[in-house]
Amino acid sequence: MNRKKRVWAALVVIFLLAAYVRIDFLRSVDHEMPHDSLNYDKMVRQLLETGVYAYNGETPNALVTPGYPLFLAAVYEIADYKEHDPLPWVRYIQALLSLAALGLVYRIARRFSGELTALIALLIAAVYPPFVWANGAILTEVLAIFLLLGYLLAQIRVFETPSYGRAAAAGIWLGLTVLVRPEFLPLIAVAFAFQWLRDKEARKRTIRLFVCTAAAVVLLLAPWWIRNAVTLHQWVATATQENPFRAGTYPYNTFNDESLVDPAGKTEKELAIARLKAGFTTQPGLFIKWYTIGKMQYVYQSVYRGGGHQPYYPVIPFDANLLHRALVLSGAIAVLAALRRWRETVTLLALTVIVMSLIRLGFVADYRYNVTMMPLIIILDCVLGWRAVMWWKGRRTQKTVVSNPIK
């Protein structure tokens, strides 16, 4: 069997394994519905039956961006939700998206390393437990991971083989990603600032590519902006939800402790700002630690276990936290290694991890929010491993040449 056939055989085996654990998980456990999932379900039924777009309310609002609700609405209609339970349909379609995301992991990893390294990244992502468990949750993570990886692959292609068509495609991917998870909007600035710095000879072209990508993002977001202006009579760039900002001001998630500021008569944003002022003034040590090390621990130290399911589904035959922590710790090294050779395109993945981790410091800390970064961390880990092997082989070859000089 030649190399190409072996690679295809490995791809088939890994994708069959990934499909098996995802489908078996969905079929063999009872799925719980946390309050966010219940809110989405209620929201979508209300949207389909009354035309009112409102999250956790009955009058129009813009608390969440429309990407995931519209995805759910489409699936509910396909499933004929009035006659059949649409949630299994959502979960199985999410499993398909999860498999598609694995294909993107493989393609991105292959651009920066060899076939074997890409296959290893694919295998890890195939059995990384949160990527399996997340399919059972009626939450944004699976769709967001798929769209984010699609955007990053499109953006990498723009930088490696520039064209306005590719730039527009990257903007469409990013626009869709932002409609699902608005915190990713700053990535357009991160990506093009990176390209501006590393390619001094083509800065005018970088600006033109940026304009093209930004125009595509605007095109995707414009209907949402118009809806908010017409219906709510206000400008809303992404979403108006303030709860994650407020919840992030409670050190170590002590949500019931209101001793710092009296919440009476304050909006969530006003309360959050008041808590930040009081906290950094009266308890600076606690708040500085919380907004640095503390939140990073909450976001990255333990594995995300999905939206809830019973009984526990063991994707791998050992503690999932062991794999997760190994990936995160080696990922920190991989990010630093990528920054050291910062002009290479792979650095865009490291910058994405860094920027999104910093953005999350401003909001509620939860293991759930790190899961969108884990495909990038897995890729960076495998690329670092591949480069370490190449370095070691180079050193061995050099030693062999020195010890056996040509006479």
pTM: 0.95
Q: What percent of the chain has pLDDT over 70?
A: 97
Is 34:307 a contact under the CB 8 Å cutoff? yes
For 146-200, the pLDDT digits (tens) are 999 999 999 999 999 999 999 999 999 999 999 999 999 999 999 999 999 999 8
Does residue 311 have a cis bond before it (omega within 30 degrees)?
yes
Above 80 in pLDDT, residue 299?
yes
Above 80 in pLDDT, residue 403?
no
Angle (deg, nearest 10), helices 115-127 and 374-403: 150
Task: Average the pLDDT over each of 230-239, 275-284, 387-396 and give the range with the smallest value.
Answer: 387-396
Look at the chain and count its residues: 407
Angle (deg, nearest 10), helices 141-160 and 203-227: 150
For 28-45, the pLDDT digits (tens) are 999 999 999 999 999 999
Question: How confident is the model at residue 406, as a pLDDT?
Answer: 54
Element (H, E) at 270: helix 268-282
Question: How confident is the model at residue 401, as a pLDDT?
Answer: 58
Question: How confident is the model at residue 392, as a pLDDT?
Answer: 86
Is 17:125 a contact under the CB 8 Å cutoff? no
For 69-107, the pLDDT digits (tens) are 999 999 999 999 999 999 999 999 999 999 999 999 999
Neighbouring residues of 101: CB distance < 8 A, sequence distance ≥ 6: 125, 131, 142, 145, 146, 149, 375
How confident is the prediction for the chain on average, in pLDDT?
94
Nearest CA to 353 out of 298, 288, 296, 307 is that of 296
Nearest CA to 82 out of 39, 52, 45, 55 is that of 45
DSSP string, 303-329: ---TT-EES---SSSS-HHHHHHHHHH
**Angstrom distance (rounded) from CA 167 to CA 1:** 39
Question: How confident is the model at residue 151, as a pLDDT?
Answer: 98
Above 70 in pLDDT, residue 48?
yes
Q: What percent of the chain has pLDDT over 90?
A: 89
Above 60 in pLDDT, residue 407?
no
**Angstrom distance (rounded) from CA 111 to CA 156:** 9
CA atoms within 13 A on the CB side of 60: 13
For 217-230, the pLDDT digits (tens) are 999 999 999 999 99
Question: How confident is the model at residue 74, as a pLDDT?
Answer: 98
Q: Amino acid identity of 151? A: Y
